[in-house]
Structure 1
């Protein structure tokens, strides 16, 4: 199981998760756009990460796709039923975790430096 319920793979962006959930529900872009009351081009922009839905549309989108808004936003939680995340790319995931750790270590160092300045 992925860490914190995150789903790895091509759905690592909001747009990718919208596509994955839409396909898991068996909907075309035009069908989902019509149900949301937006133009197909607008939905295509969301799916390609050129723009993002407003919060009210994000909530509607989550409801229509039967996923949580949290999963759409950051991939945490339950993916849509019928969604196959596929196998985890262990070497790639390891590299990503190492990079996240480096960033976290830099943040801790920055926090410590700022706290030292306050003392």
Structure 2
């Protein structure tokens, strides 16, 4: 997803919630047992979620997405922050520099959005 794209511009991948969870767990390198221990659920619960026999409740979904480094919108709808598979060449200095540059850009963009929102709030508060 590019820096200027929002999730509404993306085409969903149409996999199921279970398929998304399974893929994210595989990419994370965690076993179902490890994920279950970190979430405080049974391994069979993780397997049921991944096979679409049941779905995680809202109270577990945010934690689950955080542990798997994916967005809730990606798990539920197939758009948004998907799991990032490790690159074969590893984290060399150039790749790390590129990631740092992207993070700096996103930080600056977030600052701009915060300033715009604050200006809008200030303007609405004076009317």
Partner of 2:81: 78
- TM-score, normalised to structure 1, is 0.61
Runs (5+) with no aligned partner, structure 1: 84-119
- TM-score, normalised to structure 2, is 0.58
| Paired residues for 1:1-119 under 5 Å | 4-7=10-13, 12-82=15-85
Q: CA deviation at 1:5?
A: 4.3
| Deviating 4+ runs (over 3 angstroms) | none
Q: Which has the higher contact order (CA 8 A, sep 6+)?
A: 1
Alignment RMSD, CA only? Answer: 1.8
Question: Aligned residues, how many?
Answer: 79
Q: CA deviation at 1:53?
A: 0.6
Runs (5+) with no aligned partner, structure 2: 2-8, 87-127
